[in-house]
């Protein structure tokens, strides 16, 4: 038949390419191909839309048990204010961070709040929406007119906003301030960014310093710990000076977690664990979720902190270039799961990847997907050992399901 002949020729031509070439993603393959077996991609570069997609993944809102308590709304582009705000993602608010403009709530954000049907936090007087920043009155009116109970945390100074967020959470939590605190650079958010995942995961805040100074607002927040603070300083000395580290010691014990570049800094934070206090991810073995963000897409990265709050509780890793760095490849290799007999033994890894192919090429996703895949402990890059034994007609003890 003619159509069979055409199909055969097409298949033959498809197989005639150079074996050394990596095939491109098929044209028009559709968004489904961006979801690979070990990687879920949020295929969006616009922070407003990306935040909505993240919210949909984490909060299905199909019943009372998977609805959020409180939705956070922050101003798109105000990254220094937005980063410490994800401390409110954690319980008892248990809700996503969505974005708006200073004087207008985008329709996508309004529609998502309507879909979520926030229940209102019982520990926060039933508040359904918290607006963070310096929104115009008409923006707040859009939310109240829709029938939601709204609270506002107003501010424009990043260090003061971080202090207010710390105090707000403590008030909702019965007036108790946590001893553990992350302190990060207000000027180099590419180094401070990994803190977002932890403060969404645990009820512990982020406070700001500059390279050579501790802002008054940060001092006030640390004073609430009455000399008993456990301060985790995130970033190397070229970002936060030894002078600042010494000043912070007057408020409690200081531990620096650092890598020379943002990617290595994020890896150091993901690996760190303080066994005495319980602070830190301690992700050094297989069986975890990971979130990959671009250092140049800060607002989307900040919104993705919710992946550390529920589900796979995934720490944040930073991508800087258009390829997977040697440091990240080495780290992922150290986490690659291995099985003794059957891949069903687990454990498994999974990644969430933020951004479209313009931000993160599909080839990078392919590398991440491969490095997260479970492999035989005896060696090999795939499931070669998980095959039927010769002569058993496919019924040997290593019969595969793949």
Q: Determine if residue 324 is left, alpha or beta; phi over 0 gives left, psi from -120 to 50 gives alpha, anything else beta.
A: beta
pTM score: 0.87
What is the pLDDT at residue 345? Answer: 84
* Residue spans of the chain under pLDDT 50: 1-24, 26, 28-30, 32, 389-402
What is the pLDDT at residue 358? Answer: 94
Contact 281, 59 (CB under 8 A): no
């Amino acid at each position: 038949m003619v159509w069979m002949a055409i199909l055969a020729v097409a298949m033959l031509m498809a197989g005639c390419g150079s074996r050394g070439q990596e095939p491109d993603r098929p044209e028009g393959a559709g968004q489904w191909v961006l979801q690979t077996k070990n990687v879920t991609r949020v295929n969006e570069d616009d922070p407003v839309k990306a935040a909505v997609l993240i919210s949909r993944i984490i909060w299905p809102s199909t019943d009372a048990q998977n609805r959020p308590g409180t939705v956070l709304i922050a101003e798109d582009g105000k990254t220094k204010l937005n980063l410490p705000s994800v401390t409110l993602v954690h319980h008892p608010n248990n809700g996503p961070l969505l974005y708006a403009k200073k004087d207008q709530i985008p329709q996508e954000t309004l529609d998502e709040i309507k879909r979520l049907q926030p229940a209102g936090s019982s520990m926060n007087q039933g508040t359904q929406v918290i607006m963070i920043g310096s929104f115009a009155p008409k923006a707040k009116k859009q939310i109240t007119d829709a029938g939601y109970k709204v609270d506002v945390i107003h501010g424009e100074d990043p260090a003061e906003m971080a202090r207010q967020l710390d105090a707000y959470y403590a008030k909702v939590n019965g007036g108790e301030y946590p001893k553990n605190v992350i302190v990060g650079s207000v000027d180099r958010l590419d180094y401070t960014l990994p803190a977002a995942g932890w403060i969404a995961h645990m009820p512990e805040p982020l406070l700001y310093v500059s390279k050579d100074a501790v802002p008054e607002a940060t001092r006030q927040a640390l004073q609430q710990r009455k000399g008993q603070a456990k301060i985790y300083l995130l970033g190397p000395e070229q970002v936060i000076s030894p002078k600042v580290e010494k000043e912070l010691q007057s408020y409690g014990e200081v531990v620096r977690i650092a890598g020379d570049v943002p990617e290595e800094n994020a890896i150091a934070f993901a690996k760190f664990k303080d066994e005495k206090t319980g602070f830190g991810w301690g992700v050094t073995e297989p069986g975890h979720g990971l979130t990959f963000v671009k250092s140049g897409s800060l607002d989307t990265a900040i919104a993705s902190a919710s992946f550390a709050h529920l589900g796979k509780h995934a720490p944040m890793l930073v991508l800087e270039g258009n390829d997977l760095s040697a440091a990240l490849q080495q780290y992922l290799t150290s986490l690659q799961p291995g099985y003794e007999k059957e891949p069903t033994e687990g454990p498994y890894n999974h990644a969430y990847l933020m951004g479209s192919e313009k931000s993160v090429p599909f080839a990078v996703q392919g590398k991440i997907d491969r490095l997260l895949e479970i492999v035989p402990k005896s060696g090999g890059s795939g499931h070669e050992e998980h095959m039927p034994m010769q002569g058993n007609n496919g019924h040997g003890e290593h019969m595969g399901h793949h």
